[in-house]
Amino acid sequence: MTVSTEVQHGRVTRLDIHELVRELNGALGPTLVAAATGSKDRKLPIKWANDDGPRPGPDFERRLRLMSRTWGVVAEHEGAHVARAWFIGANPFLGERTPLTAIRDDDAAQLGRAAQAFIDGTDDA
């Protein structure tokens, strides 16, 4: 685990869930955010982003916070365009699943290893 990962974890843990969803919607779009959380309603992330909107349930919130933390680490090191491509592309460290699918599958440990391997430029995940 890098210092960046630890810093992102603290930031994401403290961040209001509505603000967190706004950030993810802005970075990846509500359709991808919905897909990563497992929501069948593509508009639900737009509702979650409103300060007076509904609060995501515990499973959704856990996935949103994992997504935000991973996004923050990859985007910080690689930039937003590369991070977006990484999130939606098949990943050999995830059994050719996308990182978005790994989030939906609650595979936090393998997702973290895949992100770190990508940032480090290694084949060790």
Q: Is residue 54 a part of any domain in this protein?
A: yes
Q: Is residue 76 a part of any domain in this protein?
A: yes
> What tokens appear for 61 in the block?
């919130």
CA 48 to chain centre: 15
Q: Is residue 84 a part of any domain in this protein?
A: yes
0.95 exceeded by the pTM? no
Q: Is residue 125 a part of any domain in this protein?
A: no
In terms of Cα–Cα distance, which of 50, 60, 85, 57 is closest to 71? Answer: 85
For residue 20, which phi and psi values (nearest 5 degrees)?
Answer: -60, -45
- Specify the residue for token string 């393998």: 110
Q: Is residue 10 a part of any domain in this protein?
A: yes
Q: How many domains does the chain have?
A: 1
- Specify the residue for token string 């509702």: 47
Tens of pLDDT, residue by residue, the chain (125 residues): 454 667 777 776 788 899 999 999 999 999 999 999 999 999 999 999 999 999 999 999 999 999 999 999 999 999 999 999 999 999 999 999 999 999 999 999 999 999 999 999 986 65
